[in-house]
Structure 1
């Protein structure tokens, strides 16, 4: 807890340094010539005395409020994507910033989203994070560029704002690769019907990975449905009813994989003895609680939120330029999470 009666002069006296040195250390002035030992001592003394910086004075001096805005397109109400907020919030707090969140429906009009951004600007946020529930291209409000801004899990249709997105291609290759490593050569794909980047990129990676393994990726069975449990169930029934039934399935997401489990059970197939299944997303409430546990690919929600907050703060503090990052989105890896849904084919 900070002690309002302790000032910067008290810290300077107790540490045996000048007020300027204390100011440089606590405000992390990069160009200040202060030894690491002195920096450690000043921070230690400040903590012991319970010194807390005067935020109002800082704001007047730096013209910054220490607040970041986050426009959340439904992620605040979505458990797995909500880790974007956790990552952004923890990264912001580590740098002395707080997060102000506005949640908006994914179907909100451009005018409505512009009003949300304006509400944050009127509260003088230093920068804005704009996050979507799933990876997609998004038309942004024109006022978003009024302060430094970073997109999370989305890319601007105009391509003019820094963005961080998941590695859809690498994640899908890891999923199919795990099935190939287990010895499967007849692999099907349960895909989404929505025209979003993940649908296209995961399908391309599925086919390319099989082709590179010497298999017929272009001829491999693919069934598409809505990316929900029922969609996965219906697509799996169709794909397993074909003449050359796959011994393994790569599912677009964990919800569709849940539907695949149900379809397999109705057909008298045991997972993974008769059918291996791998998903995508690592929605813990689903993947870890299916029986057997679902091997899947994790979306880096937390990491994307933290990356975005850290780079936004660097831009706010003049330590980095976001313009070069706007040329190409930054791609973060999607690691494979192994559980028990893959086995060698019989």
Structure 2
């Protein structure tokens, strides 16, 4: 008899339609037995030989369970969702990496739903609402909400349907737990480093003075000076509003205001972009870094800090650590466990390079 010339279906086509009934027929058992084995039902009286036949059939047929149906039945999906504006941010994207790595350690998976980058008018609330709804439709067990910069936010109302944790931001309504950088401790460690190097007259190039990072970092700087018996001269605090141009102008104002022994010997720039601008202002005046003026930044924006000359000593924002802690906190909430505090602070470490 001639062999059939009908081509067999590709493996991917066969696997895509495999059902639990197909597995049962292949293994020669009931569909109920297959269901019990695949759901790891402990009180099922199924022999090891039968379990082995079922698992072999699963492998042979390429069966995959229906995650949606399983989530509906168990009310668990093994998925967390993250709503974030930071998908394309140059350095805050490490929040996603930290969260993803921690979720994987916990045998969980992360679904990322991007929202618009925040601006002066705030994020696109309609897009955030839609992103949250889409994640909830996937039966996520909990939500993370992550921001590019530390600020108060209003999360979509539907986020309250599942455990939710905020990262690098806090709930303006005071209802949801959050993970934020310890801005004050970061400001303190920066100025303590300058004091240790012998600097007592220190200029500060501030951010927009009303945002949490500016308030916390400046307070930390003031605390370090006070502990050393010094006062923060208000004439040496100038806002650069987070930009390189702003840092350049602010550094020029500080350096031109005082000459000789009254000129500050160090600048604490509250982000790395302003430090980059300060470098230009210092060098244009024939001064050297760190010989005449020491400089410390904040953020550890690597494309800036590691490539300035000299390389910039800076305080790092702990993005990966915040992402990982956010997942651990969410895991505790979904398990019904108590959490440490409504707001958890993460240390901002000093990274030594060459500018002090």
TM-score by length of 2: 0.78
Could you say if the C-alpha distance between residues 247 and 53 of structure 1 is closer, same or farther in structure 2, counting changes exceeding 3 Å?
farther
Distance 1:181 1:268 in 2: 25
Q: Does 1:65 align with 2:77?
A: yes
Where 1:145 maps in the other structure, the secondary structure is helix
Aligned to 1:222: 237
Aligned to 1:134: 149
- The one of 325, 328, 343 equivalent to 2:341 is 325
Q: CA RMSD in A?
A: 2.8
Aligned to 2:111: 100
Tell which deviates more after alignment, 238-247 or 181-190: 238-247
TM-score by length of 1: 0.80
CA displacement 1:87-112 (0-9 Å, x = unmatched): 00111111122111121121324343
Aligned to 1:264: 282
Aligned to 1:338: 352
CA displacement 1:242-271 (0-9 Å, x = unmatched): 123210000010111000111111111110
Distance 1:304 1:192 in 2: 22
Could you tell me whether the CA contact under 8 Å between 1:231 and 1:259 is conserved in 2? yes
Which fold has the larger relative contact order, with Cα–Cα distance below 8 Å and residues 6 or more apart in sequence?
Answer: 1
Shift of 1:319: 4.9
Distance 2:143 2:72 in 1: 20
Could you say if the C-alpha distance between residues 24 and 150 of structure 1 is closer, same or farther in structure 2, counting changes exceeding 3 Å?
farther
Aligned to 1:86: 97
Distance 1:178 1:109 in 2: 40
Could you tell me whether the CA contact under 8 Å between 2:165 and 2:176 is conserved in 1? yes
Following TM superposition, where does structure 1 have runs of at least 4 consecutive aligned residues deviating by more than 4 angstroms?
22-25, 52-55
Bigger Cα Rg: 2
Could you say if the C-alpha distance between residues 71 and 160 of structure 1 is closer, same or farther in structure 2, counting changes exceeding 3 Å?
same
Distance 2:243 2:250 in 1: 11
Structure 1 unaligned spans of 5+: 8-18, 26-48
Could you say if the C-alpha distance between residues 122 and 58 of structure 1 is closer, same or farther in structure 2, counting changes exceeding 3 Å?
closer
Could you tell me whether the CA contact under 8 Å between 1:257 and 1:277 is conserved in 2? yes
Could you tell me whether the CA contact under 8 Å between 1:111 and 1:141 is conserved in 2? no
Distance 2:136 2:200 in 1: 55
Shift of 1:195: 2.0
Q: Does 1:118 align with 2:151?
A: no
